[in-house]
Amino acid sequence: PPPIVCPTFYPTTLQTIYSRYPDQSTPPSRFFMLVRQGPTTFDIAMQVQFTGLPPNSSLCRLELLVPSPEQSAIQGPDPRFNVWAVEREENATVTWETFEGSNHTSAPDQANPNATEDLNKAWKNERPLVVGELKCNETLTFQMGFAGDGGEEVNYWQFVDVSPPAVPAQGWRV
């Protein structure tokens, strides 16, 4: 039989989550940014949401089309990040108070990639970074934040999420 070709979906929304403003939400954008220094400073995390996916009939794989080094900035001593698959309504707003990483109610349920090493390998091999797989749902929502503190330095990662038909496509997809 011919191989099963799964449709590709790009994010409907990306929302920034600020620890400094725990009860405020931000409007969606195309800008992806994670920041973490230490528990007494501040964190910036993200929520990435996909809508219009097929219901529960297949597996969806979260991938990152790795931006080129010229199209992103990564720094810090510990740029590993966590990914949580969370249940949220379509277009649901998110605040630090509803961010899974701040609540510590569950362990990250996707891979714990290193934003420097794993991304560089994927970019050099011209392949997406596969973060994890889970059962499809009409709405998939992922929350992301750095796994560790930066200590004296700041862990920082940013890029613009670009979906086709724009080129080069870079950022999240399922």
As a whole number of angstroms, the distance between CA 113 and CA 128 comes to 12
Torsion of CA 88, 94, 97, 102, to 10 degrees: 80
How much is the pLDDT for 162? 92
91 in any annotated domain:
yes
- Would you say residue 93 lies in a domain? yes
Tally the domains of the chain: 1
pLDDT at 66: 87
So what's the pLDDT on residue 3?
54
What are the phi and psi torsion angles at 119 (to 5°)?
-70, -40
Q: Containing domain of residue 158, as a range? A: 13-173
Residue 150 pLDDT: 86
Q: Is the pTM of this model over 0.75?
A: yes
- Looking at residue 142, its pLDDT comes to 94
Flag whether 8 is in a domain. no
Q: What is the mean pLDDT of each run of 10 residues along the chain (174 residues)?
A: 72 93 87 87 92 82 88 89 91 90 64 74 82 89 90 91 89 93
Q: 1 lies in a domain?
A: no
Is residue 39 domain-resident? yes
CA–CA–CA angle 10, 13, 30 (5° rounding): 85
The pLDDT value given to residue 89:
94
Please report, to the nearest 10 degrees, the dihedral formed by the alpha carbons of residues 42, 44, 45, 46 taken in order. 160
Per-residue pLDDT, 107: 56
Q: Answer whether residue 29 is part of any domain.
A: yes
